[in-house]
Structure 1
């Protein structure tokens, strides 16, 4: 099995091109593979805005799929809104980039990998001053993984996200597709080659639709198969592109 190629990276921010693109599943996959390699992993949810009908949130999914060493939720808002809006409506405190950075630095002392999952897309506001998860990544000086959709429209969303990161001097590790459909259409198949161009960074994984419904051991196998060797997985973007080539 390929070795993990973490280099000196111990903190990674996971952002999405929008909400509902699979950030939590990708976060869980990275955590699951790292845990299987014997690493101590912490997962931070910067702000949980909105809950499932049973009262659970994203970290409950992460714990079920990956069982990381530590999980920490910095704020929980009941309404499914941008964190700044949800905080204002609830009268609860906002989450600042400094809060995210402080939590990551603390957990980095006792863990070999800290994953910080944002809320919604890259520029969703966390407070009324306009702070975003991009500000937290910049303040920490850590790289970002972009989680993107598979189908039509994803190239524009990915390019916009990548351009903001580039302009702010934040390193984009790569892009991961959070939910690959069982029967991909033409646009989706073409996007396999076009997404790295839009992101200005390599395609580091593709996770199948429905992966979040698996149990822990089955999810780990899917994670290994769907993530690049950079994360300790087996995903080969060139072979994947050949398999789904539209020509």
Structure 2
């Protein structure tokens, strides 16, 4: 089973968008990859049920073919997972997260796991963070970062933290959230690669309406058609051989 882990340099940088686009790409290649949100805070109530908002985005792009199993822990309070769990008198068990990865992996060729927030988001009250679980998984990581000013520092810090744990890095996706100048975005990508040796896979273009873009297959393809998919090929081939490109 192939696994990609999507993390971010911060919260709200576009991890869910990136996850949805990656799933769309694999589907286009004839591969059955499924998205997985291990921990979701800030649940939304819909028809008297609590729903994971990120999974709702996945579902809208997959014609609602995904089920409840695509999120393992769901909490109502929009805050750090360890606090959200404590408020509900619950506890996140990292072993259960790993078991969920194994379970979902038995029904798919691969998983795209979307983390919560950034690397040092606490999952438990004793300080076990997202990066600690990522270190156990050893899955190649796609880092989602803002495209504009400030992203060089955030990206380099994130990359160095992953390197310190010997966690493999597939590359960086820059998300153009604010319609930044193209020259700035290009230079940011060049400098991130120069400082870290980690390539930028591509840029997620600015979306005027995220929901409409992600629901439209042709618009999704336009978002990633210029990405360097060879980086994903190299990252995943270490796990399961060459699978991207088969159709």
What is the TM-score of this pair, normalised by structure 1?
0.81
Q: Count the aligned residue pairs.
A: 224
Identify unmatched segments of 5+ residues in structure 1: 1-8, 234-247
Quote the residue 1:80 is aligned against. 78
Quote the residue 1:219 is aligned against. 219
Q: Distance in 2 between matches of 1:67 and 1:117?
A: 19
The structure 1 residue matched to 2:205, chosen from 196, 208, 230, is: 208
What is the TM-score of this pair, normalised by structure 2?
0.81
Question: Against the structure 1 CA distance between its residues 67 and 232, is the aligned structure 2 distance closer, same or farther, given a 3 Å change threshold?
Answer: farther
Quote the residue 2:54 is aligned against. 58
Identify unmatched segments of 5+ residues in structure 2: 234-247
Cα deviation per residue 1:24-65 (whole Å; 9 max; x = unaligned)?
Answer: 000000000101211111211011111468765001111212
Where do residues 1-247 of structure 1 align in structure 2 (5 Å cutoff)? Answer: 10-51=2-43, 57-66=53-62, 70=66, 72-94=70-92, 96-179=93-176, 181-184=178-181, 187-210=184-207, 211-214=210-213, 215-230=215-230
Q: Distance in 1 between matches of 2:84 and 2:28?
A: 36
Q: Distance in 1 between matches of 2:63 and 2:97?
A: 21
The answer to whether the 8 Å contact 2:7/2:114 transfers is yes
**What is the CA distance between 1:186 and its match in structure 2?**
5.8
CA root-mean-square deviation: 2.5
**What is the CA distance between 1:138 and its match in structure 2?**
1.7
Q: Secondary structure at the match of 1:119?
A: coil
Cα deviation per residue 1:207-242 (whole Å; 9 max; x = unaligned)?
Answer: 112244312313332243253223789xxxxxxxxx
Q: Secondary structure at the match of 1:227?
A: coil
Q: Distance in 2 between matches of 1:68 and 1:228?
A: 29
Q: Distance in 1 between matches of 2:164 and 2:175?
A: 25
* Deviates further, 53-62 or 196-205: 53-62
